[in-house]
Structure 1
């Protein structure tokens, strides 16, 4: 079912029936007549293909479907924080934010250009905020508009999640998981967790977006990703995110086979004589690299190339005398093939913690919780496993 086919006010009525137990109380709460609420409920049940309530003489008893859907409705409404948001206004603003023009928004939604104009303008008037402004031929969000759009994206995710959970009850598996994967997670725990999970839930759609943290954190915040796996930040300064440590990893110094330092046990002064390829400043691996040399008070090695791409690092190292820091698991194939060698590991205290990063407000579905458990299981057998407390996410 398409979320745009629904009516926000009718959804809110369903949540209030769950809360108060009667149609009359729900009708008063949403300012609709009892017949209107009854009709809206009947239409919604027809759309989702199953009853939301058992009708009894003493009230309305919610079914499992209603108990799954109502919290998602409430979460979405809290995100929108305005009684003037309608589904058409929500759709128009999100489309305009995505494509940057009224004509483009009309094309992707099928709504007319005047309808998009009117919906966005009415929403801005109702919320007493200027949401968009013209910049040349393009349309851009104002600062207030960006905040509203980000909240609306998360509201839409909540509604879509609720619908997918209900559809799964009816044997129509539409549930999905969107994972942001930083480099180390792709080499160690993620492949194992994915294969085990898909055996259990073969109909769930699993999407993996690869990238560095700066590329993944905003999609995570806005609901395009459910979770992000990789090196954690210490301390985490973003109050809207939570971190769950899974295991500690100690990077190693990696070089090409035949490197001048091969077969030796180089100290830090010898390592500092060579150029290095490491990730940019602000990443845990770069911090470990700098601390490794700062601890003995020697001049920092030259870093003429900054990169966190394992593929790029591999090709640079094979064709030069550069050095880098990586987990051996990230280049296990290259080490086994004899293309690269390990010159030594960092002290354990210079390691990094790998784990999950999620939105603080996120409430995972059943299958998302199952995937988190698979990640924890995959990390449990690794050196440095931390036996994480997943209760903040699993409830």
Structure 2
């Protein structure tokens, strides 16, 4: 695994900056053979030469320059968080210790963390204890109900995940240099994106990058945002929030969507004049409170001085909505683009009632300091292109 030894990565950067094994050894307080061995191991992990060795010194190859760029970003992030806890930690903390810290922080239990990592519980406990000993302070608050990370520990766990994600991106880019598709793209997709534009985007991307692994992660906005901020997701696609929920993410508008009211083809309201008072008396399927769709649905009634309908089932599943509309008189309020395929196939019908002020921005959300790989940039460009064509 590239960057499995953080000390090797630090030695690599010392050689990259000085062009000298001797100088790097002095800076890192190790022997010259240790520097040579560290570089050899990194090159074996990268499966590419990282330096051109000449009589004038060591010079970065294209692969070396790529690793230097990504590695510096990873170490700068990590060292900042480690220094916040104790100045000694950047010199002593290992990747294995940090992985144990991340797993324990998330599981809040040593046994569960060990199971997640696939190692023995004493190994996890020992790794965390070593970090605490070097830090000179407790990183977890222990109680009868488990262990809770301190604020500094939780921040370190999040930054460490981001740092390791940066090194994973280096692996992907090194693979690109030799025509190997390695690594993966992870996308957090909200309900609309799963029907538009992602099917077309994925089909096109597969033509250009047929073997690169892609994971589409579904969940609530808050869940996906948390995964994005700790580096588990590369970007989100779906309804944007106004304002942006936190300063460390960027929102990029790609297209606009509006809401429609849907019913089964047998519904009597398809053939009579509609008013909000009539709609308030119906049975509804709508998304949960706090989502943009639900906020606009609620505002439709509140703006007219009406209470919300008494009969509401909360769900984000378009399939459930469609099936219930087919067998009952329930109505739903959903994204027009999300329901367009079902509308075109005449599985549902649009009620002749325009949802007021329902236009909303749909787009990409990603970390402010994120630097996408060529593959990640490609799939984002496919999203922009497919959205422009649909409009």
Instruction: Give the whole-Å Cα distance in 2 for the aligned partners of 1:166 and 1:248.
Output: 37
* 1:43-62 deviations in Å (ceiling 9; x for gaps): 22123222101112333221
- Going from structure 1 to structure 2, the CA distance change for 1:212 and 1:107 (only over 3 Å counts) comes to closer
Output the TM-score relative to the length of structure 1.
0.87
* 1:321-342 deviations in Å (ceiling 9; x for gaps): 2322112333344334444210
Contact 1:212–1:308, Cα closer than 8 Å, also in 2: no
4+ long deviations beyond 6 Å = none
Residue number in structure 2 paired with 1:331: 339
Instruction: Give the whole-Å Cα distance in 2 for the aligned partners of 1:237 and 1:370.
Output: 26
75, 78, 84: which one pairs with 1:77?
Answer: 75
Contact 1:252–1:344, Cα closer than 8 Å, also in 2: no
Residue number in structure 2 paired with 1:123: 131
Deviation at 1:28, TM superposition (A): 3.9
Deviates more, 1:67-76 or 1:268-277: 268-277
Instruction: Give the whole-Å Cα distance in 1 for the aligned partners of 2:169 and 2:101.
Output: 20
Alignment of 1:211-250 (within 5 A): 211-250=219-258
Deviation at 1:124, TM superposition (A): 1.9
Secondary structure, counterpart of 1:239 in structure 2: coil
Deviation at 1:166, TM superposition (A): 1.6
Deviates more, 1:285-294 or 1:62-71: 285-294
Secondary structure, counterpart of 2:241 in structure 1: coil
Residue number in structure 2 paired with 1:52: 50
Aligned residues: 381
The answer to whether 1:204 aligns with 2:201 is no
Deviation at 1:228, TM superposition (A): 0.9
Secondary structure, counterpart of 2:269 in structure 1: coil
Instruction: Give the whole-Å Cα distance in 2 for the aligned partners of 1:337 and 1:163.
Output: 44
Instruction: Give the whole-Å Cα distance in 2 for the aligned partners of 1:16 and 1:134.
Output: 39
Instruction: Give the whole-Å Cα distance in 2 for the aligned partners of 1:25 and 1:309.
Output: 61
Instruction: Give the whole-Å Cα distance in 2 for the aligned partners of 1:226 and 1:297.
Output: 42
The answer to whether 1:10 aligns with 2:8 is yes
Alignment of 1:68-107 (within 5 A): 68-81=66-79, 82=82, 83=90, 84-97=92-105, 100-103=108-111, 105-106=113-114
Residue number in structure 1 paired with 2:330: 322
Instruction: Give the whole-Å Cα distance in 1 for the aligned partners of 2:176 and 2:389.
Output: 32
Contact 1:18–1:70, Cα closer than 8 Å, also in 2: yes
Output the TM-score relative to the length of structure 2.
0.88
Residue number in structure 1 paired with 2:390: 382
* 1:63-117 deviations in Å (ceiling 9; x for gaps): 1111111122122222322313212312332343455544555566565554433
Secondary structure, counterpart of 1:304 in structure 2: strand
- Going from structure 1 to structure 2, the CA distance change for 1:337 and 1:372 (only over 3 Å counts) comes to closer
Gaps of 5+ in 1: 384-395
Deviation at 1:246, TM superposition (A): 0.5
Secondary structure, counterpart of 2:308 in structure 1: coil
Instruction: Give the whole-Å Cα distance in 2 for the aligned partners of 1:109 and 1:333.
Output: 42
Instruction: Give the whole-Å Cα distance in 2 for the aligned partners of 1:289 and 1:108.
Output: 41
The answer to whether 1:287 aligns with 2:295 is yes
Secondary structure, counterpart of 2:255 in structure 1: strand
* 1:12-54 deviations in Å (ceiling 9; x for gaps): 2222333343334433443334332222112221232221011
Residue number in structure 2 paired with 1:191: 199
The answer to whether 1:168 aligns with 2:180 is no
Secondary structure, counterpart of 1:344 in structure 2: coil
The answer to whether 1:34 aligns with 2:25 is no
Contact 1:183–1:212, Cα closer than 8 Å, also in 2: no
- Going from structure 1 to structure 2, the CA distance change for 1:112 and 1:294 (only over 3 Å counts) comes to closer
Instruction: Give the whole-Å Cα distance in 2 for the aligned partners of 1:279 and 1:105.
Output: 34
Instruction: Give the whole-Å Cα distance in 2 for the aligned partners of 1:373 and 1:102.
Output: 42
358, 362, 387: which one pairs with 2:366?
Answer: 358
